[in-house]
Amino acid sequence: MIELIPSIDLIDGQCVRLTQGDYRTKKVYEENPLDVAKRFEDYGMRRLHLVDLDGARAGRIIHYRILERIAIRTSLLIDYGGGLKRDEDLRIAFEHGAHLVTGGSIAVKDPDTFASWITTFGSRRIILGADAKDRKIAVGGWEETTDEDLIPFIRSWHEKGIVRVITTDIGCDGMLQGPSVELYREILREIPSVHLIASGGVSSVQDIEQLEEAGIPAVIFGKAFYEGHLQGKDLLRFSQPTD
Q: Is 134 a catalytic residue?
A: no
Q: What are phi and psi of 211, to 5 degrees?
A: -65, -40
Q: Is 173 a catalytic residue?
A: no
Angle, CA of 109, 53 and 178, to the nearest 5°: 95
Angle, CA of 103, 107 and 112, to the nearest 5°: 120
The 3-state DSSP class for residue 228 equals: coil
* Integer Cα distance of 5 and 21 in angstroms: 19
Residue 158's nearest CA partner among 121, 188, 202 is 188
* Integer Cα distance of 215 and 220 in angstroms: 15
What count of Cα atoms within 13 Å lies in the side-chain half-sphere of residue 87?
9
Residue 131's nearest CA partner among 183, 87, 84, 60 is 183
Catalytic member of 79, 89, 131, 169? 131
Residue type, 115: A
Beta carbons within 8 Å of 197's beta carbon, 6+ residues apart = 5, 127, 164, 165, 166, 167, 217, 218, 219, 220
Catalytic member of 9, 52, 54, 207? 9
Point out the residues that are catalytic: 9, 131
